Structure 1
Amino acid sequence: MKASGGIKHKILTWLRLTEGSTVKVYRGYVHQQKVVVFGHVLRRSPMPRQKYRQNFWINSFALLRLFMMKPVSGVTVKVSGIEEDVRFVTEKDGFFRLEWTPDEPFPPGWHPVKVDLIRTGPESEEPIATGQGEVYWPHSTPIGIVSDIDDTFLISHSSNLRKRLHVLLTENAHSRDPFENVVAHYQLLARAGTNANALNPFFYVSSSEWNLYDYILTFCEKNNMPDGIYLLSQLKGFGEILKTGQNKHVTKFTRIVRILEAFPDMKFVLLGDDTQEDPNIYTSLVTHFPHQIRCVYLRRVNPQNAVRTQEFVDQIVATGVPCCYFRHSSDAIQHSQQIGLVENVEDQRLG
């Protein structure tokens, strides 16, 4: 048995996979004095990538490892270091969501948080593993931004599975490209009506799976995208890798609704693209929350969807909500300036 365990450990180490319980805590948020934290409990997870090289085999294997996670269901996690007993029993896919009202309100900004995986029983509970994350309490700013990821700011070829897999397998988070001028647009939105000390909050909501969380976070940090909270889709196993990014989009609608309801006094800018269901989802959001949507941006990526998308754009505009169906981010920036959303600042990177 020891030899077998030793061999297994060596194989997992060679594959750069951890063994043993891990608590993965994602970026959460604070709303109406309530703290929301979510994550996964895993019994196998990939180790953080240390080097980025433009090598097909290295990049392919690094991507495949992200789908070798093994979630743990039915175990108990609790918030660490607070008097209030806030706990959650993980769901089938190992997911947990913790929510509580702290004794003392959080000031605006980012704050660390810890979550313990505990062993429950008649004796005292003891942490088996602890995960660390952050929560964000937005400043009182004019707007919030909800943005899709794939083909909205990250070139992904979502409407073509072969191309999407090719990019995922051959590139990495350092070599992938954002659309031209998209970072400039997002940085302008982050400062719209406010300043660098109190930026508008960003919520990145995507049909991509939680498997890709670190991959997406690394890409955003490298490309100087505004910091934000990521709300992704259900974990997928190794056998489902061909379905990456093809989740049920109704859950995306629900995740955005939660954000709008959590911040009822804030107006939101919605950014998406025409490769999948963003036009439909955003039109429904405008219908249900007409007074909370400041404007909508849809990137023109898939020519086959242009006519259908334009119909949704017309519906949005008919409600009185500005909507820009654009091909280049420079056009979106110009639109934001025209409607007074961002200042008319000359950017030398445009042109």
Structure 2
Amino acid sequence: MTPKQSKSVKGLLTHRLLTWLRLSDQPIIKVYRGYGNNKCLTVNGHVLRRSAFPRTKYRDNKLVNLLAVIRLFLVKPYPNTRVRLTCAGQTVELIADDNGFFQAEIPTPEPVAPGWHPVRAQVLSQTLPVETILAQGEGKILVPAPTTFACISDIDDTFLISHSSTIAKRLLVLLTENAHSRSPFDGVVAHYRLLAEADSGPATNPFFYVSSSEWNLYDYILEFSEQNGLPDGVYLLSKLKQFFQLLQTGKTKHHTKFDRIKRILETYPDMRFILLGDDSQQDPTIYSLVVQHFCHQISCVYIRRIEPDNRVATESLIRQIEAAGVPCCYFTHSEEAHQHSVRIGLVAS
């Protein structure tokens, strides 16, 4: 067998394996939900050489669920690619980073109407003599209507039961369940929907979901949220991980979460925000820092009680938040958070 034939056979076997795993070996561009104001639109995305096909069927089969999640971590970034984005009549070009990730700011010389706006993305060749489009994708960007307030929520163990403080339990749930079989905490969806609709007029209060979960799980989390009726919103996750990093899922440098929240608050300086998180990791510390820097923009902080060992430290941070004049609720059941929202006038009784 000649080297050329050997390479051809290897390529065929690789293609068949990827097909069996429901993985694509064609370049794609994923555009995540973005957000913006009248001056600038912010959009995030990834360019990938290898990616998982979207899941369309959900069965209560642990092996199928295991393979479905593993596929999400078998992605292969397409680094340093040229990306073109078009939204609201404006076009920008940029280069994705070494991990295939890009974050773009699209200036808007004219005011943009509130609502969701489509964004078109293209991956362009850099070596071919004639410009060639290697991949295309679409996403959408939210420009919120002027409402009373907005919400920034964590995901794992805030509304999605995840066992984040114990890596073995987290992996067991992640690898054996799927976006349709997992459950939110009792009452959390009702509370979130009340916050989305409260005192907002014809619009709804925007939701931003900011998490330490990696971008690999974006479609998984979005499917879970839609399946359970959580308020529509923007999802800002953490750095893409490879298969060998699967044991580190959900663990990232938490200062990046503060930076993402800071960026949202700076984008909407006239909005007041409700922060929702839990005590399983670093939400109390991060939200305390947010209150220190943006006290005038924070209406309330909600922390779900998950980890008994963190209770004393969390209560200390809550006292700091309340000392700054921001109401805070440290709760076990979502009904407690709901009643607190009623008492302080966030939602109607």
* Alignment TM class, shorter chain as reference: over 0.9
Give 1:38 shift: 1.0
Quick check: 76-85 or 101-110, which moved more? 76-85
The residue identity in structure 2 corresponding to 1:290 is C
The residue identity in structure 1 corresponding to 2:321 is I
Matched residue, 1:347: none
| 1:154 matches 2:165 | no
- Match for 2:15 among 9, 26, 50? 9
Matched residue, 1:340: 345
Distance 1:27 1:81, change over 3 A: closer
Q: Distance in 2 between matches of 1:81 and 1:253?
A: 27
Mind listing any 5+ residue stretches in structure 2 that lack a counterpart?
Answer: 1-6
Normalising by structure 1, we get a TM-score of: 0.95
Give 1:98 shift: 1.5
| 1:286 matches 2:291 | yes
Q: Distance in 2 between matches of 1:321 and 1:4?
A: 62
CA deviations 1:195-230 (Å, max 9, x no partner) are 4x4101100000000000000000000000001100
CA deviations 1:305-337 (Å, max 9, x no partner) are 111100011111111100000000000000000
RMSD: 1.4
- Match for 1:92 among 89, 92, 98? 98
CA deviations 1:33-71 (Å, max 9, x no partner) are 311111000000111111111111101111111100101
SS at match of 1:86: strand
- Contact 2:50/2:77, CA 8 A, preserved across alignment: yes
| 1:33 matches 2:67 | no
Quick check: 97-106 or 60-69, which moved more? 97-106
Q: Distance in 2 between matches of 1:127 and 1:81?
A: 18
- Match for 2:141 among 128, 135, 140? 135
Q: Distance in 2 between matches of 1:81 and 1:198?
A: 22
Give 1:82 shift: 7.5
SS at match of 1:220: helix
Matched residue, 1:215: 220
SS at match of 2:25: strand
SS at match of 1:20: coil
- Contact 1:39/1:95, CA 8 A, preserved across alignment: yes
Give 1:343 shift: 1.0
Structure 2 counterparts to residues 1-351 of structure 1, below 5 A: 1-80=7-86, 84-102=90-108, 104-120=110-126, 123-195=129-201, 197-344=202-349
Q: Distance in 1 between matches of 2:348 and 2:238?
A: 34
- Contact 1:19/1:43, CA 8 A, preserved across alignment: yes
Give 1:103 shift: 5.1
Q: Distance in 1 between matches of 2:40 and 2:324?
A: 32
Q: Distance in 2 between matches of 1:216 and 1:342?
A: 26
CA deviations 1:167-187 (Å, max 9, x no partner) are 001110000000000000000
Give 1:131 shift: 1.1
Q: Distance in 1 between matches of 2:30 and 2:98?
A: 15
CA deviations 1:108-149 (Å, max 9, x no partner) are 111211110011358442311011111111000010100000
The residue identity in structure 2 corresponding to 1:293 is I
Q: Distance in 1 between matches of 2:81 and 2:128?
A: 16
Q: Distance in 2 between matches of 1:146 and 1:239?
A: 31
Q: Distance in 2 between matches of 1:103 and 1:121?
A: 33
Distance 1:81 1:272, change over 3 A: closer
The count of corresponding residues between Structure 1 and Structure 2 is 343
Mind listing any 5+ residue stretches in structure 1 that lack a counterpart?
Answer: 345-351
SS at match of 2:325: coil
SS at match of 2:94: strand
The residue identity in structure 2 corresponding to 1:11 is L
The residue identity in structure 2 corresponding to 1:32 is N
- Contact 1:44/1:70, CA 8 A, preserved across alignment: yes
Q: Distance in 2 between matches of 1:264 and 1:158?
A: 32
Q: Distance in 2 between matches of 1:188 and 1:159?
A: 28
SS at match of 2:192: helix
SS at match of 1:35: strand
Q: Distance in 1 between matches of 2:319 and 2:41?
A: 38
* Percentage of pairs with the same residue: 55
Q: Distance in 2 between matches of 1:115 and 1:127?
A: 10
- Contact 1:32/1:262, CA 8 A, preserved across alignment: no
